[in-house]
Chain A
Amino acid sequence: MTKIEEILQGILTGNKRSIAKAITLIENATAESKKLIAKIYPHTGKAHIIGITGPSGSGKSTLIEKIVREYRQNGKKVGVIAVDPTSPFTGGAFLGDRIRMQELSTDAEVFIRSMATRNYPGGIARATKDAVKVLDASGKDVIIVETVGAGQSEVEIIKVADSVVVMHAPGLGDEIQAIKAGLMEIADIFVVNKADRENADKAVIDIQSILQLNNKKNAWKPPILKTVALTGEGVPKLIEKLEEHKQFLRKEKEHKKSLLKAEAELVEAIKEQTARAVIEELKRRGKFEELLQKILKRETDPVSAAEKLLEESFRKV
């Protein structure tokens, strides 16, 4: 058996070591990872993928720990992927999200993995998607992806999910602004954590008022739930809503969302692969370097150069 097949077999039987190795292959962006993903793809699509995001300090990891416990009590197998940023200066990363979930790490049916954003070809969103596929193929019923809700790349990561939970907590001040900027549109459920605090109701009202501004007519109305992650208060209700949303997605005619998701993935893959193919071909022909020099000398600009190149390539095709 080749190494890839061995890993594949391991994944399909839920072997933790194989899952871990597979994600490492994806993280390292090796050629093998592409083959592996191709092989596991037929085994995916069963898990309910939940994205959880929100500003730091909103209590994401603590809530996730409680969510996982609740799912485990219901007999579900759970995977968690926690994404943290890579330092642009040193290339290193500090991955500390699992700290609140450490007690779960010894549960045979829970798999937790921390990923750094690195400098992935195709972006961290691609790598996260692939890691989710591995967990999906390994038989996890629920897969949770956690990111800090700031910046475009995080929004991209969270789009991997079927159901997106956007968190907020009282006392985080202006960070509601951060939620506004891009996450409001993709949220399926809002959670106001630390609901035992003063101002929790104000946080709810803040979200309501922003939601009212958004007058898009959707069949799914994102509920706003209150939780106290520390004690687990409100978590069963959250799970209930997540299940409802899952059913909703199932019923939704033509699986519109799944279609959109598949389309987005396909487009992304085409983009990446065509770009690479074109670049490699140009390099082979020595054109790439030539154009680079021209750009450096200011004889042409990058956008015109790219246009010209594509024109030429397509003429050939």
Chain B
Amino acid sequence: MQSIRKIRVLIAKPGLDSHDRGAKVVARALRDAGMEVIYTGLRQTPEQIVETALQEDVDVIGLSILSGAHKTLFPRIMELLKEKGLTDIMVFAGGIIPEEDVPELKKLGIKEVFGPGTPTDKIIKFVLENLPHRT
């Protein structure tokens, strides 16, 4: 039987801020690059994000945050992913995140952090190149 595998990506917005322009532009760009994009809408708790990733069996999670609460929320999300055995999902982040916080976030297992003004092509390329091998 001919397999028709697709890359499934969850674009999630933790935190209370409502700046979804970036998240939506990225969602649309990934869709136009042939991926299946699950978008959760605004204001998701870490629990909701991780449960969604689990049920939707996604390969990649993109987190977008501009409220400044990333230092509270990202560690929680990464911890929950580990708890649920979802460490094979690749996680990247975007939004307003100070450069000095990036090393700490990467240590948590976040593969890359994109700042404002990142071209969508760069993000597509990044996703394709860093796609996890999942069974």
A103 touches B37 (CB 8 A): no
CB distance from B112 to the nearest CB of A (A): 21
- Decide yes or no whether B72 CB sits under 8 A from chain A: no
- Decide yes or no whether A20 CB sits under 8 A from chain B: yes
- Decide yes or no whether A116 CB sits under 8 A from chain B: yes
With A28-B3, A94-B28 as contacts: A114 and B33 at CB distance below 8 Å? no
Chain B, range 18-47, C-beta contacts under 8 Å to A: 27-28, 30-41, 44-45, 47
B37 touches A94 (CB 8 A): yes
CB distance from A131 to the nearest CB of B (A): 12
Cβ contacts under 8 Å, A29 to chain B: 1-4
A105 touches B31 (CB 8 A): no
CB distance from B26 to the nearest CB of A (A): 12
Cβ contacts under 8 Å, A87 to chain B: 31-32
Chain B, range 25-83, C-beta contacts under 8 Å to A: 27-28, 30-41, 44-45, 47-48, 51-52, 54-57
A23 touches B57 (CB 8 A): yes
Expressed in whole angstroms, the Cα–Cα distance for A19 and B3 within the complex equals 19
Q: Which of A27, A31, A98 contacts B52 (CB 8 A)?
A: A98
Cβ contacts under 8 Å, A34 to chain B: 1
CB distance from A244 to the nearest CB of B (A): 30
Return the CB mask of A1-35 against B: 1 if under 8 Å, else 0: 00100000000000011011101100111110010
Q: Closest B-chain residue to A28, C-beta based?
A: B5
CB distance from B8 to the nearest CB of A (A): 8
A98 touches B135 (CB 8 A): no
Cβ contacts under 8 Å, B119 to chain A: none
- Decide yes or no whether B107 CB sits under 8 A from chain A: no
CB distance from B107 to the nearest CB of A (A): 26
Q: Closest B-chain residue to A116, C-beta based?
A: B36
Cβ contacts under 8 Å, A30 to chain B: 1, 3
Expressed in whole angstroms, the Cα–Cα distance for A262 and B116 within the complex equals 54
Expressed in whole angstroms, the Cα–Cα distance for A19 and B57 within the complex equals 9
B40 touches A102 (CB 8 A): yes
Q: Closest B-chain residue to A103, C-beta based?
A: B48
Chain A, range 64-120, C-beta contacts under 8 Å to B: 86-87, 90-96, 98-99, 102-103, 105-106, 111-114, 116, 118-120
Q: Which of B4, B41, B54, B85 contacts A120 (CB 8 A)?
A: B4
- Decide yes or no whether B84 CB sits under 8 A from chain A: yes
Cβ contacts under 8 Å, B31 to chain A: 87, 90, 92-94
A17 touches B84 (CB 8 A): yes
Expressed in whole angstroms, the Cα–Cα distance for A34 and B28 within the complex equals 33
A111 touches B39 (CB 8 A): no
Q: Closest B-chain residue to A111, C-beta based?
A: B55
Q: Closest B-chain residue to A89, C-beta based?
A: B32
- Decide yes or no whether A45 CB sits under 8 A from chain B: no
B52 touches A105 (CB 8 A): yes
B85 touches A102 (CB 8 A): no
Q: Closest A-chain residue to B53, C-beta based?
A: A20
Cβ contacts under 8 Å, B41 to chain A: 96, 99, 102
B85 touches A17 (CB 8 A): yes
B55 touches A105 (CB 8 A): yes
Expressed in whole angstroms, the Cα–Cα distance for A1 and B24 within the complex equals 42
A92 touches B47 (CB 8 A): no
CB distance from A316 to the nearest CB of B (A): 24
Cβ contacts under 8 Å, A96 to chain B: 38-39, 41
Chain A, range 196-229, C-beta contacts under 8 Å to B: none
Q: Closest A-chain residue to B43, C-beta based?
A: A102
Expressed in whole angstroms, the Cα–Cα distance for A113 and B58 within the complex equals 11
New contact pairs (7) apart from A17-B54, A87-B31, CB-CB < 8 Å: A20-B54, A28-B4, A28-B5, A86-B36, A90-B34, A99-B39, A106-B51
- The 10 closest A-B CB pairs, nearest first, are A92-B31, A99-B41, A20-B57, A91-B34, A105-B51, A24-B57, A28-B5, A95-B38, A92-B34, A93-B36
Provide 18 A-B residue pairs closer than 8 Å at the C-beta atoms, listed in order of the A residue.
A3-B135, A17-B54, A27-B6, A90-B33, A92-B6, A92-B34, A95-B37, A96-B41, A98-B38, A102-B48, A106-B45, A111-B55, A112-B55, A113-B56, A114-B56, A118-B6, A119-B4, A120-B4
